[in-house]
Structure 1
Amino acid sequence: MSAATSTVAPIAALVIIGNEILSGRTHDVNGQWLGSRLAGMGIPLKEIRVVADDKDAIVEAVNALRSRNTYVFTTGGIGPTHDDITTECVAAAFGARVVLNPEAKRRLEAHYGERHTDLNEARLRMAHIPEGADLIDNPVSAAPGFRLENVHVLAGVPSIMRAMFDGIAHTLTGGAPIRSLAVTSHVREGDIAGSLGDLQNRYPDTDIGSYPFAKGNRIGASVVIRGTDPHMLQEVGDQVAKLMRDLGEDPEMGEVA
């Protein structure tokens, strides 16, 4: 078991794999969804890396992140084509062999048999899993992901990734859900920056971020407070709202989905 799994406060990282993401051809939505889902489970997503279909880059990312996070997730690169190299790369990161997994093969045989589709050599690649890994069920297209120690390998297609994650969510140990409260008005960040820094120092158990915006010819800022204690969030939120009112603005306050 990885030393990272003994971390008292669980944290997670994500490796998004695929040239199509880096080229801009495909817009990633998995990171946003997974970050929100994990936050609700009390497992903050601390880092996201996007790497190419390159063995050295994938191995380096997986090894770097698994050593300092409770959980690591990867998305993409577990299909039937030549550039789907995630499985062999994760195996290499652990020094494990990739072998034909009998249960994975059985699932694929059943899936393609029901559809009267040939389980050809390319499709059978998806039944090759690192030795010692546990399968992650794929209720959408049958080809499984897998877990090797604290690394969870998921599909890149968003609907499949989400279904696979939902199937393993109960195996993850989280903390108190991370909540978010936003206070928004037409104030300039520079006018409240010093006071926000003071608040952050006074409330170290919260994370206070300021996000500027422009609407028409007016600019403003949305201050988002994140933490696990709803009473503390409200307390900090009220003080941020007062800062904005003192500047003559009427702030709006609400939870962030």
Structure 2
Amino acid sequence: MSEAAPETPNRVVTAAVLLIGNEILSGRTKDANLNYIAQRCTDLGIRLTEARVVADDEAAIVEAVRALQARVDYLFTTGGIGPTHDDITADCIAKAVGRPLIVNPEARALLEAHYGDQINPARLRMARTPEGAALIENPVSTAPGFRIDNVYVLAGIPKIMQAMFESLAPGLVGGAPLLSRALEVDLPESVIAAVLTDAQASFADQLDIGSYPFARGGGFGVSVVLRSTDSDTLARGLATVADGLRNLGGRVEERT
């Protein structure tokens, strides 16, 4: 993995993911890209705040890009930059950001060098970007992604998408990494709700507390996940919640 980018510790840096493709919505393709991007954003101190899936439809893609781009620091899209007629992401991004779509000279040179005399109009479609876009390296199959403003356009094939993401990761500037610790308790959510509510109120916006019920091996319980950018706050919050759960008679264990 690439090293984390420099941090901006006093600000929450945000991102969104836009997954593009009819094949995802139909169930034909099981998406693996969102999970990867979410994990890497966490590594880099970037808070993923939203993800959407849209069809290969121009109006839907343009609307989603404009809406998400306006409220996050980074918007990552996956899918729809291949050589076929239904790969319309480049066209839609150009429309969304108000730039003409061009055959990018640098991208064209890369593809011509890679394909040689096998280059054809379909393959040259993958050289199209909005005017002014910077290329994102594709060390797997050469055809590049691109960045325009705060929109990063990546491939849909997971292996290629991951390689593209790692090529751009050193340039992503994150905030303080979000740390997390987790407890498991053998009590239902309805019993522990007041403890979690009181703990959240005590720490306000310094700490996020989430509860996630589980059923396992004939038993049940709740995983309580605490998140903060400050390790001391996280430790104090964990102790507060653990004490409250034990006072209810629960068996409490910390989980990694």
Establish whether TM, by shorter chain, passes 0.5: yes
Q: In the alignment, which residue of structure 1 is the partner of 2:219?
A: 218
Give, as a single letter, the amino acid of the residue that structure 2 aligns with 1:245: R
Instruction: Name 2:30's counterpart in structure 1.
Output: 27
1:25-72: per-residue Cα shift (whole Å, max 9, x none)? 111121111111111211100000110100000000000011111111
Q: 1:4 maps to which residue?
A: none
Aligned runs of 1:43-192 on 2, under 5 Å? 43-113=46-116, 118-192=118-192
Structure 2 distance, partners of 1:167, 1:252, is 39
SS at match of 2:206: coil
List alignment gaps of at least 5 residues for structure 1.
1-6
Q: Is the 8 A contact 1:134 1:146 kept in 2?
A: yes
- Displacement of 1:8 in angstroms is 4.2
TM-score normalised by structure 2 residue count: 0.92
Contact 1:182 1:253 in 2 (8 A): yes
Q: In 2, distance between residues paired with 1:149 and 1:181?
A: 35
Instruction: Select the structure with the greater relative contact order (CA < 8 A; seq sep ≥ 6).
Output: 2
Rounded Cα–Cα distance in structure 1 between residues aligned with 2:198 and 2:87: 48
Which residue is equivalent to 2:208? 207
Give the drift of 1:187. Answer: 1.4
Which residue in 1 is equivalent to 2:20? 17
Report how far residue 185 of structure 1 moved. 2.3
| Residue 212 of structure 1: how far off its partner (Å) | 0.3
Equivalent position amino acid for 1:253 in 2: E
Alignment-derived partner of residue 5 in structure 2: none
How many aligned residue pairs are there? 246
Kept in 1, the 8 Å contact 2:195–2:245? The answer is no
Identical residues among aligned pairs (%): 54
Contact (CA 8 Å) 2:61, 2:92: kept in 1 or not?
Answer: yes
**Alpha carbon RMSD of aligned pairs, Å?**
1.5
* Secondary structure in structure 1 of the residue aligned to 2:142: coil
Structure 1 partner of 2:255: 254
TM-score, normalization: structure 1? 0.92
1:235 matched residue in structure 2: 236
The answer on whether the counterparts of 2:12 and 2:176 sit within 8 Å (CA) in structure 1 is no
Q: Aligned partner of 1:217: which letter?
A: G
- CA 1:8/1:178 → structure 2, altered by over 3 Å: closer, same or farther? closer
The whole-number CA distance in structure 1 between the counterparts of 2:95 and 2:172 is 24
Letter in 2 for 1:69: V
Aligned mates of 2:229, 2:24 — CA distance in 1: 32
TM-superposition CA deviations, 1:138-197 (whole Å, max 9, x none): 111111111110111011111111111111112111111111111012211111111101
Q: Residue type matched to 1:148 in 2?
A: I
SS at match of 2:162: helix
2:234 maps to a residue whose letter is L
